Amino acid sequence: MRVKLCQDDPFGGAPSRAEIISFWRKQLEGIPAITSVDIEENFTPDRADEIAADYDILLGAWIADDLFDRAFFERHPNLKYIATFGHGFGKFDHQAARDCGVTITNTVYGDMTIAQFAMALLLGICHHVETESSYYNKILDKNMSFRAVPGVTTRQIELYEKTIGIIGLGSIGLWMARMASGFGMKVIAYSRHKREGEKYSFVEQVSLEELLRRSDVISIHCPLTDDTRGMISAQAISRMKDGVILINTARGAIIDETAMVDALKSGKIYAAGLDVVTGEPRHDRSPVFDCPNALITGHIAWAPAEARYRTVRIAVQNMRNWLAGNPTSVI
């Protein structure tokens, strides 16, 4: 089987694109069914037909809304396996994929990684560590006594005994719940389906309405679907506590950004920690970037080297399982 591997390097740094590709080749070596592996700089939906060409396996595709439809599968009859390297995915024609014998998988590589980044955004809002460090250094550079001036320049917030509401209690949401619990927070959560099992026993599962009403912090970990698009609307925000903290490492379009900006300006939302915004990948500023109480990063929660190497190992294992007739992580 011929494999097309789409592997970009958006940041540079470590590990480099060359290092990741070398790791891919080592992981793919010795799989008898694979006859060739060709590398693509990256995958963009507008070039999907060109990239897929006559390949049997496409690794690293973005599952953009409505890209993979019946016509696409019929244009590429050799294509039988598609893997996205992310947790999330857009809409595609499930029935057409089944009819055409195409298996599509995602790669759940970073549940703890993304939750850790969500917690980092929350702690950044609560403690402003870099700002305080810079302030202390400036004082010492001026040979001033630290005790002669206010020792804290930012509001410090303690998480202990506050309530965090987690929207989406999948693997990432559960890790966020565990981390928040470790800080002594009361954890409540809303998921489309109630989660059963001992591992959820410390989480109080509630309705979305109750979560919005009770939470001091709200952290979003659900997929972007027709049902969740714009879920955090002006009406939803109006039902939140005054001064709520909002964290989003899922998808930008889950939040009505205009409503969030209004709430950030009014103080209804004390601060927002966002690794995702509407309209990614962005090439210009939107009003949320001008809110001083919005802490925004460029969709980098997935980026640690450990997570990137784990992505390769999991994606290859998923593909091996499919080749063996036991597909895993099928979407």
Q: Which of 87, 251, 257, 308 is catalytic?
A: 251
Q: Name 151's Cβ contacts closer than 8 Å, sequence gap at least 6.
A: none
SS3 at position 82: strand
Residues β-bridged to residue 103? 81
User: Which structure tokens are listed for 109?
Assistant: 């590589």
Q: What is the DSSP string of 219-252?
A: EE-----TTTTT-B-HHHHHTSPTTEEEEE-S-G
CA dist., res. 195 & res. 201, Å (int): 9
Quick one: which of 107, 127, 144 has its CA closest to 316? Answer: 107
Q: Which of 128, 221, 299, 308 is catalytic?
A: 299
204 flagged as catalytic: no
Q: Which of 158, 209, 280, 306 is catalytic?
A: 280
94 flagged as catalytic: no
280 flagged as catalytic: yes
CA dist., res. 69 & res. 96, Å (int): 7
CB atoms within 10 A of CB 66: 12
Catalytic annotation, residues: 251, 280, 299
